[in-house]
């Protein structure tokens, strides 16, 4: 793995009125890594992703490949290579599968959109079969696949995934994690937010534990899987 840093987050603070949701967090993601952010409900995981995408106002510094993006608007961060599959999937329920996918490529003007569409369909053949179906009628698992595909259609350098396994049946959860692993093996750098710590740590190079707005622990995925505190608090064992 190359040691080149893709993302650096420095002293990130977020306030929602009087709520201090992120209390100066620091972390890095190297090119080609899959890094998880785990933590309980309300720990600040979604806030962290939204701050990286620019959807939530934050102070501190966010560097993408060494370049500060802290002051750049959300739509321009997409052009810099950050794409997010949001918590709750955020698909457009009244548009077709294909129309949802193309929304991901909205700001692109290159000639490779069809090629990327084909690649997504290779990864998710079910979406190809349902290309003309209204997205709101898809199953939860299919909607998650669509949310990931739409993000991939931005051709990101960094893919942010917020709770991709939430609310899905165990068999579908395994499929989604398998696909995330495959995407990473194909070279995509991924920041994965999950309450399903067990599965997330299994596929991650490294992980950070977020506790009420602070990073309390970090390490290799395998290390955290066997860490007593992590096992007690997040793995239920």
Ligand X SMILES: Nc1ncnc2c1ncn2[C@@H]1O[C@H](COP(=O)(O)OP(=O)(O)O)[C@@H](O)[C@H]1O
Instruction: Return the number of the residue (55 or 103) whose C-beta is nearest ligand X.
Output: 55
- In the complex, what is the shortest distance from the CB of residue 1 to ligand X, in angstroms, rounded to a whole number? 28
Give the nearest distance from C-beta 230 to ligand X in angstroms.
Answer: 16
Task: Work out what residue 43 binds among ligand X, Mg ion, none; the CB cut-off runs from 5 to 8 Å by kind.
Answer: ligand X
Query: What is the contact surface with Mg ion in residues (CB under 5 A)?
Result: 45-46, 87
CB 126 within 8 A of CB 118: no
Q: Which of residues 15-44 bind ligand X (CB under 6 A)?
A: 16, 19, 21, 39, 41-44
Q: CB 163 → Mg ion: shortest distance, Å?
A: 6
89 touches ligand X by CB under 6 A: no
Smallest separation, CB 148 to ligand X (Å): 18
Regarding 47 and contact with ligand X (CB under 6 A), the answer is yes
Dist CA 204 CA 83 (whole Å)? 19
**131: Cβ–Cβ under 8 A, 6 or more apart, which residues?**
96, 97, 98, 121
What does the DSSP assignment read for 15-31? EETTEEEEEEEEEEEET
Please count the CA atoms within 13 angstroms of the CA of 237 that sit on its side-chain side: 9
Residues 6+ apart with CB under 8 A from 156: 78, 81, 82, 83, 188
Binding site for ligand X (CB under 6 A): 16, 19, 21, 39, 41-47
């Amino acid at each position: 793995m190359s040691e080149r840093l893709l993302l650096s987050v420095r002293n990130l603070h977020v306030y929602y009125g009087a709520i201090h949701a992120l209390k100066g967090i620091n972390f890095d993601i190297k090119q080609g890594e899959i890094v998880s952010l785990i933590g309980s409900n309300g720990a600040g995981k979604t806030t962290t992703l939204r701050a990286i995408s620019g959807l939530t106002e934050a102070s501190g510094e966010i560097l993408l490949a060494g370049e500060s993006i802290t002051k750049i608007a959300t739509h321009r961060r997409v052009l810099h290579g950050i794409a997010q599959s949001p918590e709750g999937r955020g698909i457009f329920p009244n548009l077709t599968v294909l129309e949802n996918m193309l929304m991901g490529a909205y700001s692109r003007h290159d000639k490779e959109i069809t090629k990327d569409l084909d690649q997504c369909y290779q990864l998710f053949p079910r979406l190809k079969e349902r290309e003309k179906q209204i997205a709101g009628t898809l199953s939860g698992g299919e909607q998650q696949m669509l949310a990931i595909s739409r993000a991939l259609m931005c051709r990101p350098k960094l893919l942010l995934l917020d709770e991709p396994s939430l609310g899905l049946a165990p068999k579908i959860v395994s499929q989604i994690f398998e696909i995330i692993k495959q995407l990473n093996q194909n070279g995509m750098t991924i920041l994965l937010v999950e309450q399903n710590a067990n599965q997330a740590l299994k596929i991650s190079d490294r992980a950070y534990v977020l506790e009420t707005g602070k990073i309390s622990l970090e390490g290799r995925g395998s290390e955290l899987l066997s860490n007593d505190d992590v096992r007690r608090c997040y793995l239920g064992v």
